[in-house]
């Protein structure tokens, strides 16, 4: 006749580890539950993601005032020492008194113009503007910038979020204008064939 095994006898005699309380230590399970992520829940509320890509505006033109006027030392913006010389005159950065200009006042942004403008440590903007806009008697226009009062939305974003003041294009405009940047946004390449074979839009829409 088999002896009936009790729960106590099945456990056996207490070991040194049990006596010392080691048995109370927790063992990490192989699979653990993950707490709810509110951020993931919020993603489900988004119906559309809008990407706004702007061009033909320099950092100094839009946010250079953060250093020049607001005195921020954490931003590589405009300084009083910056200047272009042309026709025997020196032109320093100046605050623009309006945000709307005529179409004919658009600075040239072809590959050859950009090369001229960047020459001499960004010293050719005024001379290039004067050369490409002989009808405009105010070449200092190209040295103008906006500030927080002009651009309150950008000002808020610059104060509340990260500002990338050392972001440089992976490809100098060269002979293709801003096309490399546009291609990089859409297809993650600066190579510009006649038609981009596969873009982010093909991926999103499964075409």
Residue 65 has pLDDT above 70, yes or no: yes
What the block records as the tokens of 81 is 């020492």
For residue 143, being part of any structural domain is answered with yes
Give percent of the chain with pLDDT exceeding 70.
69
What the block records as the tokens of 176 is 């293709």
Half-sphere exposure of residue 47: CA atoms within 13 angstroms, side-chain side: 0
Q: Cα separation of 33 and 46, whole Å?
A: 26
**Statement to judge: residues 196 and 125 lie in one domain:** no
* pLDDT tens string 109-118: 887 888 899 8
Which of the four pLDDT bands, split at 50, 70 and 90, describes residue 72? Answer: very high
**Statement to judge: residues 110 and 203 lie in one domain:** no
Per the structure, the count of domains in the chain is 2
For residue 20, being part of any structural domain is answered with no
**Statement to judge: residues 190 and 94 lie in one domain:** no
For residue 128, being part of any structural domain is answered with yes
For residue 12, being part of any structural domain is answered with no
The b-or-e profile of 98-116 (16+ CB within 10 A means b, else e) is eeeeeeeeebeeeeebbeb
Query: How long is the chain?
Result: 207
* pLDDT tens string 165-207: 876 665 555 555 567 777 777 777 766 665 666 777 777 777 6
**Statement to judge: residues 130 and 88 lie in one domain:** yes
Q: Cα separation of 166 and 70, whole Å?
A: 19
Return phi, psi of residue 64, to 5°.
-60, -25
Residue 3 has pLDDT above 70, yes or no: no
- What angle is formed at CA 170 by the lines to CA 166 and CA 174, rounded to 5 degrees? 115
Domain that holds residue 190: 172-207
Q: Return the number of other C-beta atoms located less than 10 Å from residue 7's C-beta.
A: 6
**Statement to judge: residues 65 and 164 lie in one domain:** yes
Proportion of the chain in helix, strand, coil states, percent, rounded to 5: 40, 5, 55
**Statement to judge: residues 65 and 108 lie in one domain:** yes
Q: Are 65 and 148 contacting, i.e. CB atoms less than 8 angstroms apart?
A: yes
Rg (CA), the chain: 32
């Amino acid at each position: 006749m088999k002896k009936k095994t009790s729960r106590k006898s099945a456990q056996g005699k207490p070991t040194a580890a049990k006596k010392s309380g080691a048995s109370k230590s927790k063992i990490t399970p192989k699979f653990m539950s993950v707490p709810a992520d509110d951020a993931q829940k919020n993603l489900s509320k988004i119906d559309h993601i809008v990407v706004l890509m702007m061009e033909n505006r320099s950092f100094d033109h839009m946010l250079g005032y953060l250093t020049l006027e607001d005195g921020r030392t954490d931003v590589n913006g405009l300084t009083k020492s910056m200047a272009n010389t042309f026709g025997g005159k020196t032109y320093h950065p100046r605050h623009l008194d309006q945000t709307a200009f005529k179409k004919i006042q658009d600075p040239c942004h072809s590959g050859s113009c950009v090369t001229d403008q960047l020459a001499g440590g960004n010293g050719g903007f005024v001379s290039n503007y004067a050369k490409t806009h002989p009808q405009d008697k105010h070449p200092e226009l190209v040295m103008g910038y906006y500030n927080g009062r002009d651009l309150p939305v950008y000002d808020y974003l610059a104060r509340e979020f990260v500002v990338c003041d050392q972001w440089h294009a992976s490809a100098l405009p060269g002979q293709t204008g801003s096309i490399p940047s546009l291609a990089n946004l859409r297809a993650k390449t600066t190579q510009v064939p006649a038609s981009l074979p596969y873009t982010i839009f093909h991926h999103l829409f499964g075409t």
